[in-house]
Copies of this chain bind each other. A is one copy, B any other.
């Protein structure tokens, strides 16, 4: 029997979905034990349990980002897999919902309704616009596909990979400003790694046209927050939508709360569903018992 420890805020929400799959040779344990081989849950809870799991062979994260487990001072003698394929659809709904909110001027129409003002307010459209994706992994690929459904042009900036066929043009390395030039929308889905710190800085923001909208649904470290504030205050870009921040929850005295044309959500762009994450575990467990390589493995060095 393989002993599984579920480490999430509401472990039963996940356990019931895993139990339904009737997986072979699987036994749930409620607390860290020496002979527990598998952990499934939030990376920070797995980190806190690591010392009590000397025989851990595999940890399945329910998040895409696994920063809590990447510190080089920590054990990395087990297979770490993260959650993929789960967040793309949710992120697409968030990103295109917010882009359409801006283009269709939904806020303005609500205001006009309040004022009983019947008027042909000009609204824009996604069709024909150019979206730039900072990072094109499984989430970026989903965004690229949805952008094509809306008739948009898609650019992608990645370290080197060019996996999504929906991206019209890829950019790498020192092509960042070229990538940004002329974008209507810039969307970051980059993870927190040592290479992604403050990629969205003054130079990148200055390369965007003044009507551009920036959305960050990746990680907060990617943005130079004071440069973004300057850019919005000086109307160098039109708007920003941020779901992630350098410090979360965002401190109450942070100027972002009232920066003009900055709209925020609270790291809730893609709240996942236990059923979806249980599926990822189940798929990987079947590989695990057959001794096959797991999918969605994290490279501890790269960080994703």
Contact = CB atoms under 8 A, between A and B. Distances in A.
B120 A271 contact: yes
A219 to B, nearest CB: 17
A13 interface: no
A contact residues, range: 35 or more
A94 interface: yes
Nearest to A98: B106
A246 to B, nearest CB: 14
A263 interface: yes
A1 interface: no
A266 B96 contact: no
Interface string A84-114: 0000011011101110110110110110110
Contacts of A120: 266-268, 271
B93 A126 contact: yes
A96 B267 CA distance: 22
Q: Counting chain B CB atoms within 10 Å of each CB, which of A94, A104, A116, A257 scores highest?
A: A104
A56 to B, nearest CB: 29
A113 B264 contact: yes
A90 B125 contact: yes
Nearest to A107: B110
B113 A271 contact: no
A121 interface: yes
A78 interface: no
A123 B272 CA distance: 11
A271 B116 contact: no
Given A126-B93, A127-B93, A109 B263 contact: yes
Interface string A258-271: 00000111111001
B119 A266 contact: yes
Contacts of A264: 109, 113
A49 interface: no
Q: Counting chain B CB atoms within 10 Å of each CB, which of A100, A101, A151 scores highest?
A: A100
Contacts of A271: 120, 122-123
A264 B101 CA distance: 14
A141 to B, nearest CB: 14
Given A90-B125, A96-B96, A120-B267, 11 more contacts: A89-B127, A89-B150, A89-B151, A96-B100, A106-B106, A109-B266, A110-B263, A118-B249, A121-B268, A122-B271, A146-B149
Interface of A: 89-90, 92-94, 96-98, 100-101, 103-104, 106-107, 109-110, 112-113, 116, 118-123, 125-127, 145-146, 149-151, 248-250, 252, 257, 263-268, 271
